[in-house]
Amino acid sequence: MDLGAVVPEMILAALALVLVPVAGWARAPRWRTAPAVLAGLGVIAAMGFTAPMLWATPTEAFCGTYAVDPFRAAYQLLLELGALLTLPMLAAHFRGHAQEPHAPIAVLFALVGAMGLAASLDLGLIVLFLQMVSFPSYILVVLARTDRRAQEAALKYFIYGAVALAVMAYGLTFLFGLTGSLNLRAIGAGLAGADPAWVAVALGLVLVGYGFEATVVPFQFWAPDVFQGASAPVSGFISVVPKVAAFAGLLRLLLEAMPHGLSSWPLLLALLAAATMSWGNLVALRQRSLKRMLAYSSIAQAGYVLMAVAVAERAAGAFGAVGFYLLAYLFMNLGAFAVVAQVERAGGSDSLRAVRGLGRRAPWPAVALTLALLSLAGIPPLAGFAGKVLLLGAAIDGGMAWLAVIAAINMAVALFYYVRVVAEMYFAPEERATFAAPGAGYALSTVVATAGTLALGILPALGLVPIGLGTNLLR
Q: Which residues of this protein are in contact with other proteins, per CB under 8 A?
A: 317, 320, 374, 379-381, 385-386, 389-390, 392-393, 396-397, 401, 404-405, 408-409, 411-412, 415-416, 419-420, 423, 426-428, 459-461, 464-465, 468
Sequence-distant contacts of 162-168: CB under 8 A, at least 24 apart: 164/208, 164/209, 164/211, 164/212, 164/219, 165/127, 165/130, 165/131, 165/134, 165/209, 165/212, 167/205, 167/208, 167/209, 168/127, 168/130, 168/205, 168/206, 168/208, 168/209, 168/210, 168/212
> Between residues 271 and 396, which has the closer beta carbon with respect to other proteins?
396
Nearest approach in angstroms of CB 305 to other proteins is 17
Closest CA to 8 of 108, 129, 124, 89: 108
Cβ–Cβ < 8 Å for 245, 133: yes
> Between residues 125 and 404, which has the closer beta carbon with respect to other proteins?
404
> Between residues 173 and 472, which has the closer beta carbon with respect to other proteins?
472
Closest CA to 392 of 410, 375, 374: 410
> Between residues 98 and 459, which has the closer beta carbon with respect to other proteins?
459
Nearest approach in angstroms of CB 475 to other proteins is 20
DSSP state, residue 258: S
Nearest approach in angstroms of CB 292 to other proteins is 21
- Kindly give, in sequence order, each residue whose CB lies less than 8 Å from that of residue 269, ignoring residues fewer than 6 positions away: 306, 309, 310
Q: What is the dihedral of CA 296, 300, 306, 308, to 10 degrees?
A: -150
> Between residues 22 and 473, which has the closer beta carbon with respect to other proteins?
473
Nearest approach in angstroms of CB 30 to other proteins is 35
Burial category of 27 from C-beta neighbours within 10 Å (exposed 0-12, middle 13-18, buried 19 and up): exposed
Nearest approach in angstroms of CB 125 to other proteins is 32
Strand partners, 258: none
Nearest approach in angstroms of CB 286 to other proteins is 16
> Between residues 34 and 408, which has the closer beta carbon with respect to other proteins?
408
ω into residue 29 within 30 of 0, thus cis?
no
Amino acid at 179: T
> Between residues 119 and 308, which has the closer beta carbon with respect to other proteins?
308
> Between residues 110 and 383, which has the closer beta carbon with respect to other proteins?
383
- CA-to-CA distance for 228 and 148, rounded, in angstroms? 12
Nearest approach in angstroms of CB 463 to other proteins is 10
Nearest approach in angstroms of CB 86 to other proteins is 28
- Kindly give, in sequence order, each residue whose CB lies less than 8 Å from that of residue 286, ignoring residues fewer than 6 positions away: none
Amino acid at 417: Y
